[in-house]
Structure 1
Amino acid sequence: MRNYLLLVLLSLFAMSCGDDIETNSPSIQGEVDDIFFRSNSSSATVNEDGSVTLIGESASEIVTLKISDYEVGTYNIQGNAANEATYEDYNGVLYLTGENGEGKIEVTRINNGTLSGEFYFNALKNGVGDTINFSKGSFFYVPVANPSTPTTPGTDVDCPEATEIRLNAKLAYDNVDTSNQEEVQAACNAYRTALNQEIEVCGDEIGDLQAILDSLGDCES
């Protein structure tokens, strides 16, 4: 009987520690005022200005992180609009760093269209009220919907670069979370843009690229 009780206690201890162990599943996690948070779904998007937005959602909470560049490095949040964080609780109350919050986001690894790193932040209710503390934050293997965004109009891109952009966009599209329609549509549009760019820069004598483009449709379904 004593051995049985010991086994039960050890099992409970292992379960309690399991929340803090990084797995191979894409996730954003941490502690909100010492209460554990882990996302059920996570995604990242490279914005038109080159900044990156990461979003992690659980059944009732949302964490959003924004950094100024799609690069490995440390991004300070203190009053910097280019780097910011928000947390929406289960009641829909929004806490944001804004001008008065502070924190840090560190991207430690960019690999195969995914982002990994660590973060913490203090955010205020609606930017001015009560403060929450998000500590021990980490994100790992968060997929980027458009890891190699096509360059802006007027920027010279040669054929090998256009092909690489298209291949990276295809990789992101092939690995997108199909249960999240917004992520699917964003990845599809990025793939369409990359295909159009490669056709324009490299040509498409056989028509293979156009056939892929046609198969994508308008990315709405």
Structure 2
Amino acid sequence: MKKIFLIALLSLFVISCGDDIETNTPSIQGEVEDIFFRSGSSVATLNEDGSVTLTGSSSDEVVTLTASAYEEGIYSFGGSVTNEATFEDFNGVLYLTGENGDGEIEITKIEGGRLSGEFYFNALENGVGDTINFSKGSFFDVPLTNPGTPSTPGSDLDCEEAQNIRLAAKLAYDNVDPNNAEQLQLVCNAYRNALNQEIDTCGDESGDLQAILDTLGSCES
């Protein structure tokens, strides 16, 4: 009986480990009003003011998280738009923390140009309307699309990593709602940064990457 119990316990342990490994891919996830959300693509972008924005997109929903600095630490939402969280649902309704929402994002790890951490927030429709709750949020190994920016830790990438970042940025760009100008410009700039990074790291003998950059233009609507 004891042997059977130990075998069953060992089997459960192995299954649990397998589940952890399966979910430990670059992603942003959590619960929106107790409904599970997991991004199909996730990227991070270092902004000109030194803040960093993480974007996670599923087939029809998008969450963005902005922290005022590209450093490990806790950043509170609400009262200021320096740190901000937004969520766009499948109907295209935008919820944002702005001055009236609350919550926080904690960047627990930055390594190799990838960010991991946790978050939660309450955001209001267009910043003033109905409230939506995003709880149990986490992000894992979200790649920075412009890691070559001066003074950013973990900026050394090899060609394969640069290619993977570009593919993740492309997926986010392909899935963004074209009617949401703010999100479109955000993911477009992330895609441009990733393309430029791959060109700098890997080269572009065929000119294919530069052709995509030319098609994207300045990303301004």
Identify whether the pair has TM-score above 0.5, normalized to the shorter chain: yes
Separation in structure 1 between the aligned mates of residue 91 and residue 61 of structure 2, nearest angstrom? 9
Once the 2 structures are TM-superposed, how far is the Cα of residue 188 of structure 1 from its aligned partner? 2.4
Once the 2 structures are TM-superposed, how far is the Cα of residue 59 of structure 1 from its aligned partner? 1.0
Higher relative contact order (CA 8 A, sep 6+): 2
Q: 1:148–1:169: 8 Å Cα contact kept in structure 2? A: no
**Counterpart residue type for residue 210 of structure 2:** C
Q: Residues 216 and 80 from structure 1, CA distance in 2 versus in 1: closer, same or farther, beyond 3 angstroms?
A: farther
Separation in structure 2 between the aligned mates of residue 218 and residue 66 of structure 1, nearest angstrom? 28
What is the percent sequence identity of the aligned residues? 57
**Counterpart residue type for residue 143 of structure 1:** P
> Which residue is 1:36 aligned to?
36
| Secondary structure at 1:219 match in 2 | helix
Of stretches 61-70 and 174-183 in structure 1, the one that deviates more from structure 2 is 174-183
**Counterpart residue type for residue 219 of structure 1:** Q
| Secondary structure at 2:23 match in 1 | coil
In the alignment, is residue 175 of structure 1 matched against residue 164 of structure 2? yes
Q: 1:85–1:96: 8 Å Cα contact kept in structure 2? A: yes
> Which residue is 2:102 aligned to?
102
Deviations 1:181-207 (A, max 9, x none): 645532122456xx5xxxxxxxxxxxx
TM-score by length of 1: 0.69
Q: Which runs of 5+ in 1 are unaligned?
A: 1-13, 152-163, 196-208
Deviations 1:60-119 (A, max 9, x none): 110000011111100011212110000000100000001100110000011111100000
| Secondary structure at 1:176 match in 2 | helix
Deviations 1:116-173 (A, max 9, x none): 000000000111000001000000011111224036xxxxxxxxxxxx95x4485652
> Which residue is 1:186 aligned to?
193
- Alignment RMSD (CA, Å): 3.0
Once the 2 structures are TM-superposed, how far is the Cα of residue 24 of structure 1 from its aligned partner? 2.3
Separation in structure 2 between the aligned mates of residue 51 and residue 24 of structure 1, nearest angstrom? 25
TM-score by length of 2: 0.69
